[in-house]
A = this chain, B = another copy of it.
Amino acid sequence: MSLINRQIVLASRPSAEPSADNFKLVEAPVAPLQDGEVLVRNHFLSLDPYMRGRMNDGKSYAQPQPLDEVMIGGTVGEVVESRNDFFKPGEKVVGMGGWQEYQRVGAHQRGALQKVDTTHVPLSAYLGAVGMPGVTAWYGLVKIINPKAGETVVVSAASGAVGGAVGQLAKARGCRVVGIAGGPDKCAQVVSELGFDACIDYKQHADVKSLSKALKEACPNGIDGYFENVGGMILDAVMLRCNAFSRIAFCGMISGYNGAPIPLTNPSLILVNRMKLEGFIVSEHMEVWPEALKELGGMVATGKLKYRETVAQGIAAAPEAFLGLLKGKNFGKQLVKLV
Chain A interface residues toward B at CB < 8 A = 59-61, 231, 235, 244, 250-253, 256, 261-268, 270-281, 284
Known contacts: A272-B60, A274-B284. The answer to whether A253 contacts B267 by CB under 8 A is yes
A103 to B103, CA, bound (A): 79
Asked if A268 contacts B231 (CB within 8 A), the reply is: yes
B-side contacts of A231, CB under 8 Å: 267-268
Interface centre among A270, A280, A284 (most CB of B within 10 A): A270
Q: Is the CB of B284 within 8 A of A279?
A: no
**By the criterion CB–CB under 8 Å, are B274 and A276 in contact?**
no
With A263-B265, A267-B264, A278-B277 as contacts: A61 and B250 at CB distance below 8 Å: no
Tell whether, in the assembled complex, residue B267 and residue A274 are in contact, meaning their CB atoms are under 8 Å apart: no
Give A61's nearest chain B residue, CB to CB. Answer: B272
- Provide 24 A-B residue pairs closer than 8 Å at the C-beta atoms, listed in order of the A residue: A59-B272, A61-B244, A61-B271, A61-B273, A61-B274, A231-B267, A231-B268, A235-B267, A250-B267, A250-B271, A253-B271, A261-B265, A261-B267, A262-B267, A263-B263, A263-B264, A264-B267, A270-B277, A270-B279, A272-B279, A274-B280, A275-B277, A276-B279, A277-B278
Once A273-B279, A276-B277, A277-B276 are accepted as A-B contacts, the answer to whether A261 and B268 lie under 8 Å apart by CB is: yes
User: In the bound complex, what is the Cα–Cα distance between A18 and B28 (angstroms)?
Assistant: 72
Q: Ordered nearest first, which 4 A-B pairs have the shortest CB separation?
A: A263-B263, A261-B266, A271-B279, A264-B267
Is the pair A274, B265 in contact by a Cβ cutoff of 8 Å?
A: no
Q: Taking CB as reference atom, which chain B residue is nearest A245?
A: B284
In the complex the two chains form, what is the Cα distance from A59 to B235 in whole Å? 19
Q: Is the CB of A256 within 8 A of B277?
A: no
Complex CA distance for A266 and B250, rounded to whole angstroms = 13
Q: Which of A274, A281, A284 has the most CB of B within 10 A?
A: A274
Q: A261-B267, A274-B278 are in contact. List 14 more A-B contacts (CB 8 A).
A: A60-B272, A61-B244, A61-B272, A231-B268, A235-B267, A250-B270, A250-B271, A253-B271, A256-B268, A262-B268, A263-B263, A270-B277, A274-B281, A275-B279
Given contacts A267-B253, A268-B262, A270-B250, are A278 and B279 in contact (CB under 8 A)? no
Q: Cβ of A264: which chain B residues have Cβ within 8 Å of it?
A: 263-264, 267
A266 → chain B closest CB, angstroms: 4
Chain B positions within 8 Å of A280 at CB level:
274
The residue from B263, B268, B272 contacting A267, defined by CB atoms under 8 A apart: B263
For A244, the chain B residues whose CB sits under 8 A away are 61
